[in-house]
Amino acid sequence: MSVYDELSTFVQQGRAKNVKELVATALEEGKPAKEILSDGLLAGMSIIGEKFKNNEVYVPEVLIAARAMNAGIEVLKPAMEEGDADNVGKVILGTVKGDLHDIGKNLVKIMLEGKGIEVIDLGVDVPPEKFVDAAIEHDAKVIACSALLTTTMSVMKDVVDAVDAKGMKGKIKVMVGGAPVTQNFCETIGADYYASDAASASDVALSILKA
């Protein structure tokens, strides 16, 4: 069994301690952080997601797997960050109201910080106005919204509207992402940018802040 298959299995079994140890070993062996993340940790979480959908596992198992995955990400974090880049600006980040999924959002945060971007992380279940108020308070040019549920992605439109209502359209850019979100959806709701994964989110944010 490859180290990635083993990692995937540990994530599915929710064995946080084993995940941490194996990620550390894989890094020591020179395995690329990106590969450890995608072929090991995310692969395991994706299998859990399928089983969850098919009612083969339930919320507690998913939570335990998520905790194991987060433990692995913590060990990976230093290797994923690009290091001491200059502070190039601020981004307000959060998972939209009604949505409690934060693993993807946390990955976006790691990648943004790796580009030298200061991240004000509002956490999960964030109401639209809170994103905008925080952006104004911190003079941030980008709001980055994550949503994992088809029932919460519509809240991103409320964020776009809230930016408009505060007279900040064009001054604050809204970037959207998360598993059910697409470029087409982004355009439909009038958001400024879509990013399909955490690495692209950091590239997009950097280009906005440097423009």
**Other Cβ atoms within 10 Å of 114 Cβ, number:** 18
CA nearest neighbour of 185 among 140, 133, 147: 147
> Interhelix angle for 103-114 vs 198-210, to 10°?
40
Residue from 27, 66, 168, 208 that binds ligand B1M (CB under 6 A)? 66
CA nearest neighbour of 115 among 134, 139, 137, 91: 91
Binding mask 173-202 toward ligand B1M (x if CB under 6 A, else -) reads --xxxxxx--------------x-xx--x-
Residue from 7, 134, 144, 160 that binds ligand B1M (CB under 6 A)? 144
- Interface with ligand B1M (CB under 6 A), residue total 38
For 21, the 3-state DSSP assignment is helix
Q: Give the length of the chain.
A: 211
| Secondary structure letter of residue 190 according to DSSP | T
Closest approach of Cβ 193 to ligand B1M, in Å?
8
56 binds ligand B1M per the rule CB under 6 A:
no
Angle at 166 between CA 163 and CA 168, to 5 degrees: 60
127 binds ligand B1M per the rule CB under 6 A:
no
Binding mask 91-110 toward ligand B1M (x if CB under 6 A, else -) reads -------xxxxxxxx-xx--
Closest approach of Cβ 95 to ligand B1M, in Å?
8
47 binds ligand B1M per the rule CB under 6 A:
no
CA nearest neighbour of 130 among 93, 102, 101: 93
Which residues of this protein are in contact with ligand B1M, per CB under 6 A? 42, 45-46, 48-49, 52-53, 59, 62-63, 66, 98-105, 107-108, 144-146, 148-151, 175-180, 195, 197-198, 201
